[in-house]
Structure 1
Amino acid sequence: MTTGLERIAVKARQDTKLQFTSLAHHITKELIWTSLNHMPKNTSPGIDGITRDMAIIEFEKWVEDMMNSIHRFGYKPPAVRRVWIPKPGKVEKRPIGVPSVADRALQRSTATVLSTIYEQDFLNCSFGGRPNRGAHNALATLNETISGKKVSWVLEADLKNFFGTLNHDWVIKFVQHRIGDPRIISLIKRWLKAGVMEGKDTYVSETGTPQGGSISVLLSNIYLHYVLDLWFERAIKPRLKGEAYLIRYIDDFVVCFQFRSDALRFGEVLKKRLTKFSLELEPNKTRLVEFGRFASKHAKQKGSKLETIYFLGFTHYCTRNRKGNFMVGRKTEKTRFKRSVNKIQETLRIIRHWSIKDQTEKLNQILRGHYNYYGIAGNLWTITKIYKITERYWRKMLSSRSQKSYITWEKFNQIKSIFPLERPKLSIPFSELKMYAKL
């Protein structure tokens, strides 16, 4: 963080009501260059077809025009290119907006400057799109909250088409609590109205912000900071009988309660609160679950099955450790597991005729990515299963390359001794899980 941004952070922390009226000059040519170079080399181009490498080569030609247009209130972001990606384990797909590379660099630079302020405001319950507050931190916080606090009930909540329904007027009102620089406000308004190109058609929406750009994640966090986080902390918690804890990862959140009555009351007022700000719960994905150290005892008394909760790609369940004490168990959620298996199968079809060395490198790349995310304490069995499935499918694919190339397990093990697959390993073992929590 530069000295100028450090001073902004100090001011924002010292005065929580201060509105910053001069920020655009912090979006410098150097910051845009840094943002551009931080993009992955395989970043998808926007509607102009310009790649990251092309944008780097031509940087001096376009950056001056961009800087001048920002200060003249004349910057016009290009429409984002819409692509559809499958939702885990579902037929329907999720729309993702792909901004042009240059616009993405500007978004990231703007988000860097604004985050300097909002990181002083955002609450501890907020994760996602924030430094050192990723999905693993949210999962560890949920684990520690349920294990160490007075929690007996968990409300799973899912917002219906969140990114597509953000109210633009409310977005600007929330941003203006802290941002008074008209050039920044103009930029945000133009990004919201930039439009989406799908095929040859361009659509300009009166609501929502396309998923895909850095500014979309920041605006979403700002929106829910005011709509949900602050409201829960200041208006809801003081009125409850027992303890309650909110854990939010962008638009995905769970709320833990000590008492069922508190959870039920909150569920009712939550619907009204969201409606006020043009948001809505997805009824099929929102439910109240008895969960915690007493859930097992109550389930036995009722003769019912222990319930599970779903959060950030994991199924969380009640279990006990070797000493017989309560603990939260977790495993890869079944639709996510199926998606991982499908990805391996599809990859093997694509790399069927590659050399074994190249196949190994590609498979290990996928396995490492899987272990890095899903390799959390308690989930070793499931990531080991992915490893074994990869082994089985790989051997089957090698055997099918020709009629004479059947690979026995003995021969396959010889191949693996030369070209080993990445063995399953926990990225966060039990000994480190607590350190990831943000309580």
Structure 2
Amino acid sequence: MKDRAMQALYLMALDPIAETTGDNHSYGFRKHRCTHDAIEQCYIVLSRSVAPEWILEGDIKGCFDHISHAWLINNIPMDKEILRKWLECGYVFNGELFPTEEGTPQGGIISPTLANMALDGLQDLLEKSVKKYQVNYKKIVPKIHLVRYADDFIVTAKDKKTIEQVILPLVRKFLAERGLTLSEEKTKITHINEGFDFLGFNIRKFRNNTLLTTPSKDAQKRFCEKIRKTIEANKCVKQKSLIMMLNPIIKGWGNYYKYGTSAKVFHRIDWEIFKKIWQWARRRHPQKCKGWVKDKYFRTLNGRSWRFAADMGKKDKIDYIELTYLPTIHHEKFVKVRHYANPYDPADKSYYEWRETYRMKQTLKGRQSLINIWKRQNKVCPVCGERIDRERPWSITEQIVSGQKVRTLVHTSCKRKMQSRL
């Protein structure tokens, strides 16, 4: 516990440096940045008619486990002896101590920042090393762009030759200095018309010059498998319980991919979910006909038939809990963070406040009562006084004040503290 507290203390001093010196288009493990920022940057770079056509898909072999200790000690601006102890402390497995000779601290809260700082600088290196050139008095722009999320990255270029002869050697040399290597099996050079997978999305340009970002086939397969396992593991539970298990999984997946072109995929995946649900229902009543099973488990709600829904069992009214219908999660345009903005720069404070307010309203879209509560609290948690936003988990609490039920939004950690005192 003391060690984690010390890491948190040093991280408070190190993070502003990392944010100031970091690559503009690095989006992993950084404040107010996420995977969708990285995907949106890919879209900005590749969607134009004069966009680069070739992509290097970089995959670093065991990034967090193999970063050179010597490089970190020589280049990270913090107490060298403290850093050395953290790097060499090792880890315990089954009661046995295993020393670490390379890589960042196992499970350390400072590790992602150390890894980011080790990989920062690649963007500047590529931009300075690959310059414009002339062919028959015509200037050729190599169209070099780097987009990185933690240890996953892509580099774009005008032609395949530039990637093979210039970019790949530069990347390999840059990584070798830090004790890292590219995975030869997973590192690929791809044409944009073939498409490539990045952070769960497939990004591909079609003949009409339209770029689409859709859920990757691997992501679809993993999601369907998760749904299948959840249903098969709960063959005997009540319908209401199964719906409550599946809804967070479906909503979470849908909300992640709603910023892409996902409508067709959502309809197809929903059909797969329906087939699994129908099998679950038929298996419970093998002696009953299909019509009987349909009437027992499916309802017509809001003009839609075949909705898998269960009665909540309230005495005063009929109320149903319904399985989330994936196509009802509509596409939304994602507003990318300004790549040059710094959360520690006072000049950018108003921008980040606007951005977090905007994103919070997007999160609470369609839930006006929660937006009103959030505004009534001046957007802060009444327990700790810190801002309620998407960065920290929060939940709703209810209290009786002057005989009336009052709802408030508090951080989940603050709610646990309140409950522990009771």
> TM-score, normalized by length of structure 2?
0.67
Relative to structure 1, the CA distance from residue 112 to residue 342 in structure 2 (aligned partners, 3 Å threshold; closer, same or farther) is: farther
Give the residue type in structure 1 aligned to 2:15: S
Q: State the partner residue of 1:224.
A: 119
Q: What is the CA distance between 1:412 and its match in structure 2?
A: 3.5
Greater Cα shift, 338-347 or 420-429: 420-429
For 1:104-123, list aligned pairs within 5 A.
107-108=7-8, 110-123=10-23
For 1:285-324, list aligned pairs within 5 A.
285-291=186-192, 306-319=193-206, 324=208
Q: State the partner residue of 2:243.
A: 360
Asked whether the 8 Å contact 2:36–2:336 carries over to 1, the reply is: no
Which secondary structure does the structure 1 equivalent of 2:260 belong to?
coil
Relative to structure 1, the CA distance from residue 361 to residue 187 in structure 2 (aligned partners, 3 Å threshold; closer, same or farther) is: farther
Q: What is the CA distance between 1:136 and its match in structure 2?
A: 0.5
Q: What is the CA distance between 1:337 and its match in structure 2?
A: 1.7
CA radius of gyration, larger in: 2
CA distance in 2, matches of 1:114, 1:202: 29
Match of 1:268 among 162, 169, 173: 169
For 1:87-106, list aligned pairs within 5 A.
103=4
Q: State the partner residue of 1:160.
A: 61
Q: What is the CA distance between 1:109 and its match in structure 2?
A: 5.0
Match of 1:334 among 206, 214, 217: 217
Asked whether the 8 Å contact 1:153–1:257 carries over to 2, the reply is: yes
Q: State the partner residue of 1:424.
A: 326
Q: What is the CA distance between 1:276 and its match in structure 2?
A: 2.7
Q: State the partner residue of 1:256.
A: 156
CA deviations on 1:367-415 (whole Å, 9 max, x unpaired) are 1111122222212222333332222212212332354467644543226
Q: CA RMSD in A?
A: 2.8
CA distance in 2, matches of 1:385, 1:231: 43
For 1:8-87, list aligned pairs within 5 A.
66=2, 77=3
Match of 1:206 among 94, 101, 108: 101
Q: State the partner residue of 1:245.
A: 145
Higher strand residue share: 2
CA deviations on 1:195-217 (whole Å, 9 max, x unpaired) are 22332332111011256443111
Q: State the partner residue of 1:400.
A: 283
CA distance in 2, matches of 1:380, 1:317: 16
Give the residue type in structure 1 aligned to 2:75: F
CA distance in 2, matches of 1:351, 1:266: 51
Q: What is the CA distance between 1:360 and its match in structure 2?
A: 0.9
Higher helix residue share: 1
Asked whether the 8 Å contact 1:165–1:279 carries over to 2, the reply is: yes
Relative to structure 1, the CA distance from residue 110 to residue 411 in structure 2 (aligned partners, 3 Å threshold; closer, same or farther) is: farther
CA deviations on 1:267-326 (whole Å, 9 max, x unpaired) are 1232233223211111121122222xxxxxxxxxxxxxx412111112222126xxx5x2
Greater Cα shift, 147-156 or 249-258: 147-156
Give the residue type in structure 2 aligned to 1:163: F
Q: What is the CA distance between 1:112 and its match in structure 2?
A: 3.8
Match of 1:412 among 280, 294, 297: 297
Number of equivalent positions:
313
CA distance in 2, matches of 1:359, 1:106: 43
RCO comparison, higher one (Cα < 8 Å, 6+) = 1
Q: What is the CA distance between 1:119 and its match in structure 2?
A: 1.1
Q: What is the CA distance between 1:106 and its match in structure 2?
A: 5.1
Asked whether the 8 Å contact 1:127–1:248 carries over to 2, the reply is: yes
Q: What is the CA distance between 1:434 and its match in structure 2?
A: 5.5
CA distance in 2, matches of 1:362, 1:406: 27
Q: State the partner residue of 1:196.
A: 91
Give the residue type in structure 1 aligned to 2:322: P
Which secondary structure does the structure 1 equivalent of 2:308 belong to?
helix
> TM-score, normalized by length of structure 1?
0.64
Q: State the partner residue of 1:173.
A: 74
Q: What is the CA distance between 1:159 and its match in structure 2?
A: 0.8
Asked whether the 8 Å contact 1:144–1:434 carries over to 2, the reply is: no
Q: State the partner residue of 1:34.
A: none
Give the residue type in structure 1 aligned to 2:321: F
Relative to structure 1, the CA distance from residue 164 to residue 129 in structure 2 (aligned partners, 3 Å threshold; closer, same or farther) is: same
Note the residue ranges of structure 2 that are not aligned, 5 or more in a row.
Answer: 134-139, 300-306, 310-319, 341-422
Relative to structure 1, the CA distance from residue 337 to residue 108 in structure 2 (aligned partners, 3 Å threshold; closer, same or farther) is: farther
Give the residue type in structure 2 aligned to 1:283: E
Relative to structure 1, the CA distance from residue 212 to residue 422 in structure 2 (aligned partners, 3 Å threshold; closer, same or farther) is: farther
Asked whether the 8 Å contact 2:7–2:109 carries over to 1, the reply is: yes
CA distance in 2, matches of 1:307, 1:267: 20
Note the residue ranges of structure 1 that are not aligned, 5 or more in a row.
Answer: 1-61, 67-76, 78-102, 292-305
Asked whether the 8 Å contact 1:137–1:438 carries over to 2, the reply is: no
CA distance in 2, matches of 1:327, 1:437: 24
Q: State the partner residue of 2:391.
A: none
Give the residue type in structure 2 aligned to 1:267: L
Asked whether the 8 Å contact 2:69–2:102 carries over to 1, the reply is: yes
Q: What is the CA distance between 1:341 and its match in structure 2?
A: 1.4
CA distance in 2, matches of 1:152, 1:120: 31
Q: What is the CA distance between 1:117 and its match in structure 2?
A: 2.3
